[in-house]
Amino acid sequence: MDSTDRGSIATVRPSSARERAVRVAANAGEPTLEFADGLPYDVYVHAGTLHSLQQPVSEDAGEMSFLMVSQIMELYFGLTCFELREAQRLLREDDVWGALSPLRRAALHVEGLNAAWRGLRWMTPADFNRFRDLLGEASGFQSAMYRHLEFLLGLRNAALIRPFHRQPEVQAELLGTLRAPSLWDDVIAVLARHGFAIPRAVLVRDPAQEHEPHPAVEAAWVEIYRDDSPGNQLRMLGEALTELAEGFGDWRYQHLKAVQRAMGEKPGSGGSAGVTWLRRSMDRVVFPEIWSARTFI
């Protein structure tokens, strides 16, 4: 898109409280029905563009649900990643209080992800089979934004970037996320700055490698949780992370159940073993020491 094209794109015109009050008075309380430069809602939300992106490959009416729920999840993946990166920024500034808000929002977005599965609960194997073959090898396994989400949460596996090698920009972005500290790495760094005895080897490890649970990190969380005073910001951080991890675990479980419902133990479209692959992936725990510490509190 050149500069001329960009200049022709309508933008939202800001308005003040006074302008809104004048408009209400002029409209006698009714909504405005005439706009000079296009509908402001569509200019802002790009609703027309969003609704043009559903392009089913079959004539089966049920495919629209499958396609749109998948697109909704993609949007939620991106939104959750946005919140996690904001939380990381604040944690790196040692603003634990500030990081609680994006973490809580992220947990709510994951609730939205979980709710999206309900839109596919109607799907039986016979329903899915009516259009599954036309999907070819397309699979949620190939979602770049989901990989960003896993990497941000600390689930690291460099091999999972390989499908994107013919998309250099996407691959570069994924490598950037993989090679940068995860949210959990940033949390552990906060613990160290707050005086907990976190070994240097844990703090300076290669972030592209998946974090191995460490007794010192677990011990820090045991101590944090034993202090139940109202001003314990690290305990509040722990609870925000717990809620996020629990919601993500619920999403992975619901993914497994949705696959079982729609295709049983059949191989996955992307070449995996389907349900067997999903069961193995669920064994990788997000924020492991925050869970194991509970045994000793």
**CB environment 22-36: b (16+ within 10 A), e (fewer):** eeeeeeeeeeeeeee
Q: Which of 290, 195, 210 is nearest to 242 (CA)?
A: 290
The reply to whether 46 sits in an annotated binding site is: no
Rounded distance, CA 270 to CA 62, Å?
A: 21
Q: Are 275 and 256 in contact (CB under 8 A)?
A: yes
R_g over Cα of the chain: 23
The reply to whether 148 sits in an annotated binding site is: no
Residue 197, phi then psi, degrees to nearest 5: -80, 75
The annotated binding site for heme is made up of 255
Q: Which residues are annotated as a binding site for substrate?
A: 132
Binding site: residue ranges?
132, 255
